[in-house]
Amino acid sequence: MKKREVPASVKDERLVKKRRNQMIKGAITLFKQKGFHQTTTREIARASGFSIGTLYEYIRKKEDVLYLVCDRIYDEVRDRMEQAIDTRQGDLNSLKLAIAYYFKVVDELQDEVLVMYQEAKSLGKDSLPYVLNKELQMVAMFENILKRCVGNGVFHLNEREIQLFAHNIFVLGQMWGFRRWALKKLYTLEEYIEIQTKLLLEGIMKRT
């Protein structure tokens, strides 16, 4: 006679969405400040604008909040990317623009990206692969652009080089987020984009 087994499906969908959004927004604020582990469920409830009891009407475990947060952040990043990046063009310029735009997104969502990076590991065995897969999807966006470029003869890379290069772009973008303690002292975002693009595309050899 489990009383509260599937509360969500019974409740009004609109309300559930609204409450979840409140939760995610409040939780992200807190996680940015103190991280997942240091944040208590009571704090999340308070920041969401309702009580601890109500919080548990919409989740089963504290970890569920983390999952919702990570999910949302990935969607946010991916949406912004898809909105602005053209993966079909396949010329050098659209690659440069994609890199620049991605770096800017990472910069805008610095805290969010940092949160995800530092806390994703705390996700359970089920949620983690789901989230990591979302990351691979984003790497695949760069892979696609690169493939088009190779197809158009802009440069030559084999399949495995493309994959690694896409990972590099992705990670060096994140680097702007998780190493800002060192990088912000040295570069503005624009400088970072410029130099990084140059290093990525031209390498260091044979330059005038």
CB under 8 A: which stretch of 8-16, 40-48, 59-67, 167-175 binds a second copy? 167-175
Taking the complex as a whole, how short is the minimal distance between the CB of residue 109 and DNA, in angstroms?
24
CB under 8 A: which stretch of 10-18, 20-28, 46-54, 133-141 binds a second copy? 133-141
Tokens of 67: 């999952």
Round to whole Å and give the CA distance between 50 and 57: 11
Tell me whether residue 42 or residue 179 sits nearer to a second copy (CB atom): 179
Taking the complex as a whole, how short is the minimal distance between the CB of residue 181 and a second copy, in angstroms?
6
| Contacted by 205, from DNA, a second copy, none: CB < 5 to 8 Å by type | a second copy
Q: Report, in angstroms and rounded to the nearest whole number, the Rg of the chain calculated over CA atoms.
A: 20
Tell me whether residue 1 or residue 204 sits nearer to a second copy (CB atom): 204
Please, are residues 167 and 135 in contact by the beta-carbon 8 Å criterion?
Answer: no
Contact footprint for DNA (CB under 7 A)? 3, 7, 10-12, 15, 19, 38-42, 50-54, 56-57, 60-63
Q: Does 132 bind a second copy (CB under 8 A)?
A: yes
**Footprint of a second copy (CB under 8 A):** 35, 37, 118, 121-122, 132, 135-136, 139, 155-157, 160-161, 163-165, 167-168, 171-172, 175, 179, 181-183, 186-187, 191-192, 195-196, 198-208
